[in-house]
Amino acid sequence: MDQNEFSLIASKHETALHSHALKFTRDEDEAKDLVQDTLLKGIRFCANFDKGTNIRGWLYVIMRNTFINNYRKDQKKQALIVQEEEITSPSLMNSSTRNSSGSTFMMEDIRRALTSIPEAYSYPFQRYFEGYKYEEISEELGIPLGTVKTRIHQARLMLKKYLKNYQDGAGD
């Protein structure tokens, strides 16, 4: 059976597939997406369909497997997503200062070190530390990519010089 012939036969079952998809998703838009994915997979793999067997049943199996696979992917994504407020610089500073009293002094030294270097260097460094890419920082500041990289590198050197007491655990 070729794809055109299969497509014509499968489209006759679209309404039944849609009502079945609603039972899985409980959402109209998601059900439409699931039906579309099911039909596309059916058309793509129509060569695997045994002519003369139940096409609706075959499509239901594709739909169920597609739904299960999508559900598992969504669960993995949800497990990996960290709320933005948990990874902001202030909350990272707060959580790290609660670890021990020695960390308080270290964090204060880091804050002083960051304020001791010019903002043209400290701001790109902080943005990079927060997880922004060089390109994003470049766009935000309206400066060339090479300048961003140089400023971050220079900020690292300045911070390293300022915080040399902590190198190799000497500040502990």
- Report the CATH number at residue 115: 1.10.10.10
Tell me, what amino acid is at 95?
S
Please check whether residues 165 and 93 belong to one and the same domain: yes
Number of domains into which the chain is organized: 2
Amino acid at 86: E
pLDDT for 2: 80
Of 59, 80, 101, the domain-final residue: 80
Instruction: Give me the pLDDT at residue 37, please.
Output: 92
Identify the domain containing residue 93 by its residue range.
85-169
| Domain identity same for 136 and 63 | no
pTM for this predicted structure: 0.47
Name residue 165's amino acid: N
The predicted pLDDT at position 65 comes to 93
Low-confidence residues in the chain, pLDDT < 70: 81-103, 105, 166-172
Query: Rounded to an integer, what distance in angstroms lies between the CA atom of residue 147 and that of residue 38?
Result: 49
CA distance 166 to 169: 5
Task: Give per-residue pLDDT as tens, 27-51.
Answer: 999 999 999 999 999 988 888 888 8
Which of 48, 80, 112 terminates a domain? The answer is 80
